[in-house]
Homo-oligomer: A and B are copies of this chain.
Amino acid sequence: MTSVLWILFDGGGDRPRNGATPFFAALKPVIDKLASLGSCGIMDPISPGVRPGSDTSHLALFGYDPYRYYTGRGAFEALGAGLELRPGDVAFRTNLATVDARGVVVDRRAGRYVAPEEAKEVEAIMARIGEEVERKFGVSVVYKSTVEHRGVLVLRGAVSHKVSDTDPHKTGELVRRSQPLEDSKEARTAADVVNYISDAFTAYSKELEANRRRASRGEPLINAVLVRGGGYMPSIEPLRQRYNVKGAAIAGVALIRGVARAVGMDLYSAEGLGGTKFDKFEEAAKLAVELLKRYDLVFLHVKGTDSASHDGDFKGKVDVVERLDAALRPYEAVLEENYVVVTSDHATPVSVREHTGEPVPILLYGPDVVRDDVAKFSELTCWRGALGRIRGMDVMPTIASYLGLSEKFGE
């Protein structure tokens, strides 16, 4: 069986600095050999000039129009945290935070580090609040802690995601009251529920064992939950139905796991693959190659390039690319028997430290793919290639066609 390994360097695209970009500077013999054997090009993740988020970009890359399917980050984050969402569920991202006696936010992250046993305690309080909400509003509540101070909050029932955040997004301000953003009963109910949870959490947080410990050590208390980024879970036809592609995603980042799951990919984790620029890729590469035997598409998400970019760390970004390439080296022969796609979901230039809207390089290798004369995967070279300039939404149909899996349109 021929399959596709798709390596995605999050925020990998960059702008030239002293004549080089991180992709250009990186020593990456495996990827560059694939570039020299296959087709290269440039890709606008959404459309030229549009600055994508990682969520909208991944939707487009998986072949789903983000203008239709993107419904706010909350839903994808909740999926990524392993919650089962149904179409119509409303989800929010949350922060555990520290407020003073008047309700002014003192620390938006409650010291950032939240120990696993503290997170458990918080989940228990949230379960209790959930029961009250269910009785009072007829709305089901699920809360889950994810990483450090972060969590997701899901509402199921006659609720809308069109409500404002309680998170003031800065310290020194009062926790906000959630307001309905449309004139509907569902929005009013959702705002009431969010405000109820916000109030109840601060009230019940006095009982947290964690806060007794934190108070004794002079650490920031966990006494508020800030809610933001409401979105609803859209109805998404799975990859397998839409493109006839059976896909697996290896990713460490909740948001990307959420998007992959939303489109019906199976999720995998690998040791060393967290989401930082220090990630190690040996286990991820090994797993990816194994999964090629069982899946049409194996999607390997590398977050480190984006993390390094947000730090303005050119060298760190180069290192991530080089470490990934080195991890692929034992499997060169296998890769050359399959298809390989290498690209990025958006540029995050180290000089800008934010997502930008220019196209990113893309490489498509396959035993029967046209060979152009690009021999290096980078922003400075791929524009010469045989793929020309394509869009994120073009990738999945291309993959499905090379794998011989897609339906013919017409006779």
Contacts and interface: CB of A to CB of B under 8 A. Distances in A.
Nearest to A70: B410
A261 interface: no
Interface stretch (A81-89, A286-294, A397-405): A397-405
A57 B356 CA distance: 26
Given A57-B410, A409-B66, A49 B17 contact: no
Interface in A374-400: 379-380, 383, 385-391, 394-400
A233 B293 CA distance: 46
A330 interface: no
A370 B383 contact: yes
A398 B49 contact: yes
Interface string A44-62: 0011111111111100000
A411 B17 CA distance: 26
B389 A388 contact: yes
Interface stretch (A148-156, A206-214, A347-355): A347-355
A51 B409 CA distance: 6
Interface in A121-143: none
Contact of A409 (B50, B390, B408): B50
Given A351-B368, A398-B49, A406 B55 contact: no
A384 to B, nearest CB: 8
Interface string A5-16: 000000000011
A81 to B, nearest CB: 15
A357 B406 contact: yes
B390 A383 contact: no
23 contacts: A15-B370, A46-B409, A48-B390, A48-B398, A49-B394, A49-B400, A51-B401, A51-B407, A52-B408, A52-B410, A53-B410, A55-B410, A66-B410, A351-B368, A356-B401, A356-B402, A356-B404, A357-B406, A358-B370, A358-B402, A383-B387, A383-B388, A389-B389
